[in-house]
């Protein structure tokens, strides 16, 4: 399948978990892929790995331009880099709010704005943002994280409206708890009995298991596809039914 042949994608956070799975699928589909990540050495081999901190505008501008230079444009932006934050409303100080908002939310504006002149020149421009079930599910102990993912959801709708007449589509995915290094490392670090902890985590998911990164990636790639030209301003849940509970 060479659905993405001739197209160039940038994937933030494409060196691990969901983003890496997206980069691999886009490469399989024939795209040129640039991975913008703090750890670009872990990007898939055929991708252009670019060291980038999405919370730093100069770093983002430089990486986006490097990708556009290398491949002669940018057609697809996958805004996927993100970090977690735990706790109730009194858990995080102002610095922590600023830091997590910058990495998770303002990054989406920084990266998309930097890529916008290139997207405007593309015939198949698409942006896909990684929100979360946390945007709408009311998860306990996740106030700051939920705020960032809710903001990404709202930005997706507003950006879709802004750019639809320019032929730029903007969509989001809302994954449930996924089997990525982030989740697994967190689990293993905390648990006295990691196997039991994992069993309980699986059992808490409506469909009885963690979401696989490849399942989220498949949905992101579906939304990014040039075959999907009439889909914009939508958010797809990939959460085993969590949102409906
Ligand atoms: P992960 O930790 O496995 O991968 C995240 C990647 O982002 C890493 O390669 C990391 O280096 C990179 N990154 C982090 N901060 C960065 C920064 N400032 N600049 C550039 N790169 C940076 O995480 P994951 O589980 O694959 O999560 C990816 C996205 O999916 C995140 O936005 C997360 O909020 C979202 N999400 C994850 C889950 C889950 O359960 N894993 C559920 C819902 C949504």
pLDDT digits (tens, 9 = 90+) for 8-44: 999 999 999 999 999 999 999 999 999 999 999 999 9
Residue 51 pLDDT: 98
Q: Is residue 1 part of a domain?
A: no
Q: Indicate whether 135 and 35 sit together in one domain.
A: yes
pLDDT tens for residues 136-175? 999 999 999 999 999 999 999 999 999 999 999 999 999 9
- For the question of an ipTM over 0.95, the answer is yes
Q: Indicate whether 130 and 32 sit together in one domain.
A: yes
Mean pLDDT of the chain: 96
Q: Is any ligand 1 atom within 6 A of the Cβ of residue 79?
A: no
- 3-state class (DSSP) for residue 96: helix
CB of 23 within 8 A of CB of 214? Answer: no
Q: Is residue 245 part of a domain?
A: no
Q: What is the CATH number of the domain that holds 23?
A: 3.40.50.720
Nearest CA to ligand 1 atom 31: 82
Domain with 200, as residue range(s), is 178-210
Q: Indicate whether 28 and 92 sit together in one domain.
A: yes
Q: Indicate whether 66 and 89 sit together in one domain.
A: yes
153 given a catalytic annotation: no
Q: Indicate whether 184 and 98 sit together in one domain.
A: no
- Neighbouring residues of 83: CB distance < 8 A, sequence distance ≥ 6: 100, 103, 104
Q: Which of 148, 182, 202 to mutate to test the pocket of ligand 1 (most atoms within 8 A of CB)?
A: 182
- Single out the catalytic residue among 14, 19, 100, 145: 145
The proportion of the chain whose per-residue pLDDT surpasses 90, expressed as a percent, equals 89
pLDDT bin (cut points 50, 70, 90) of residue 84 is: very high
Distance 19 CA to ligand 1 centre (A): 7
Q: Indicate whether 118 and 186 sit together in one domain.
A: no
Q: Is any ligand 1 atom within 6 A of the Cβ of residue 16?
A: yes
């Amino acid at each position: 399948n060479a659905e993405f042949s001739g197209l160039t994608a940038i994937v933030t956070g494409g060196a691990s978990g969901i983003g890496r799975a997206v980069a691999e699928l886009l490469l399989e589909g024939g795209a040129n892929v640039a991975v913008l990540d703090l750890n670009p050495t872990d990007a898939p081999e055929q991708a252009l790995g670019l060291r980038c901190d999405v919370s730093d505008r100069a770093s983002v501008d430089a990486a986006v331009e490097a990708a556009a230079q290398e491949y002669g444009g940018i057609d697809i932006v996958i805004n996927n880099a993100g970090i977690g934050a735990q706790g109730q409303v009194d858990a995080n100080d102002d610095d922590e709010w600023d830091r997590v908002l910058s990495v998770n939310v303002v990054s989406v504006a920084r990266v998309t704005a930097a890529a916008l002149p290139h997207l405007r020149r593309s015939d198949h421009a698409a942006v896909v943002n990684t929100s979360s079930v946390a945007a709408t599910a009311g998860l306990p102990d996740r106030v700051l994280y939920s705020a960032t993912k809710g903001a990404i959801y709202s930005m997706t709708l507003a950006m879709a409206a802004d750019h639809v007449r320019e032929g730029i589509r903007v969509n989001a995915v809302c994954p449930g708890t996924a089997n990525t290094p982030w989740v697994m490392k967190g689990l293993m670090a905390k648990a006295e009995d990691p196997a039991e902890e994992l069993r309980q985590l699986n059992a808490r998911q409506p469909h009885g298991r963690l979401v696989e990164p490849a399942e989220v990636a498949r949905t992101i790639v579906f939304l990014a596809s040039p075959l999907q030209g009439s889909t914009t301003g939508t958010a797809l849940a990939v959460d085993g039914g969590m949102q409906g509970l």
